[in-house]
Amino acid sequence: MAPTLRRSALYLPGNNARALQKAASLPADVLIFDLEDAVGPDAKADSRARVCEAVSSGDYRSAEVVVRINGEGTPWHDDDLVAVAGLPAHGVLVPKVERAEQVLALVNELERLDAPPSLRLWVMVETPGSILRVGEIASASDRLAVLVVGTNDLVNELHALHVPGRAPVAAALSWAVLGARSAGKGVLDGVFNDITDAAGFRAEARHGRELGFDGKTLIHPSQIAPANEMFGPSAEELTQARAIVTAYEQAEAAGKSVITVDGRMIEMLHVRDARRILALAGLIAARDSR
């Protein structure tokens, strides 16, 4: 699975023209233009038009651009999907996807609308049912690229509590990563709600990184820098990755079958992961140079 830079994915309210304009200069890896939770019923149509204009402007070339539409069964879903199918976006994010059949129906609809192959499907898994079926959802279609865990909705539906360490949903978070990785798909952690708690955000981002998430969805620009840091490779990881790749290449050239680095036996799985880390660092360097 080739790495893709998705350390930080910032939600942008579709009804906030100033936020949409400012986003063009933000260092988020992903910008999610939101037509769902951030927009009230009376503002849905105007926000859709505003988002379509913004995405079509070409002002967001340094980020992966995704539009979160309203869910199936809502009065706005069909019009949202039609609008996004014609945009130069990288992805369309659909909330409350609970079954593989929904993925297939969405893919069929995108194809009927002649959406370009470059427009990938993203889905939110945010209910008990979607978590239990996450592997089926993730493997339903090659057009599906990323799963986003909606932790707020999940905690609510479980009648659980938002607590430091996220013990009430830890198993669900791990299961989401397992399902995504089993299908070779990207997976993003949910949002952290308190924008004044910088330490709490860093702790939760670290937890998500330890679980294996590619990055974290964000609700405020102040969360971008720490997310980029926490989900990017550390200096220690890069040093170790370079040492592993160098040792492997030297051993291969010398015809040796046993490789050690700092006294540790190195297997091919370590080499693959080291190369993934170095490739991710290369993507970050390219992103930062734009």
pTM for this one? 0.94
Q: Do 269 and 129 reside in the same domain of the chain?
A: no
Q: Which residues contact 100 (CB under 8 A, 6 or more apart)?
A: 133, 136, 137, 139, 140
pLDDT value at residue 287: 85
Q: Which two tokens stand for residue 57?
A: 């402007």
How far apart CA 92 and CA 68 sit, in angstroms, is 6
pLDDT value at residue 202: 98
Q: Do 44 and 181 reside in the same domain of the chain?
A: yes
Q: How confident is the model at residue 263 (pLDDT cuts 50, 70, 90)?
A: confident
Domain assignment of residue 83, yes or no? yes
Domain assignment of residue 1, yes or no? no
pLDDT value at residue 1: 63
Q: Do 214 and 278 reside in the same domain of the chain?
A: no
- With a cut of 70, say whether residue 260 has pLDDT above it: yes
pLDDT value at residue 61: 85
Closest CA to 205 of 7, 33, 34: 7
- When divided into structural domains, the chain yields a total of 2
- Residues spanned by the domain of 266: 235-288
Centre a 10 Å sphere on the Cβ of residue 2 and count the other Cβ atoms it contains: 8
Domain assignment of residue 123, yes or no? yes
pLDDT value at residue 2: 67
- What average pLDDT does range 232-255 have in this prediction? 91
- With a cut of 90, say whether residue 154 has pLDDT above it: yes
- With a cut of 80, say whether residue 114 has pLDDT above it: yes
Q: How confident is the model at residue 215 (pLDDT cuts 50, 70, 90)?
A: very high
Q: Do 175 and 32 reside in the same domain of the chain?
A: yes
pLDDT value at residue 112: 97
Q: Do 140 and 193 reside in the same domain of the chain?
A: yes
Q: Taking the alpha carbons of 284, 286, 289, 290 in that order, is the dihedral positive or negative?
A: negative
Q: How confident is the model at residue 75 (pLDDT cuts 50, 70, 90)?
A: very high
Q: Which residues contact 163 (CB under 8 A, 6 or more apart)?
A: none
pLDDT value at residue 79: 97
- What average pLDDT does range 63-69 have in this prediction? 97
| Average of per-residue pLDDT values in the chain | 95
- What average pLDDT does range 235-259 have in this prediction? 89
Q: How confident is the model at residue 216 (pLDDT cuts 50, 70, 90)?
A: very high
Domain assignment of residue 2, yes or no? no
Q: Give me the phi and psi of 265, to 5 degrees please.
A: -70, 130
CB 190 within 8 A of CB 227: no
Q: Do 241 and 212 reside in the same domain of the chain?
A: no
pLDDT in tens, 168-186: 999 999 999 999 999 999 9
How far apart CA 203 and CA 47 sit, in angstroms, is 34
Domain boundary among 192, 207, 231: 231
pLDDT in tens, 218-231: 999 999 999 999 99
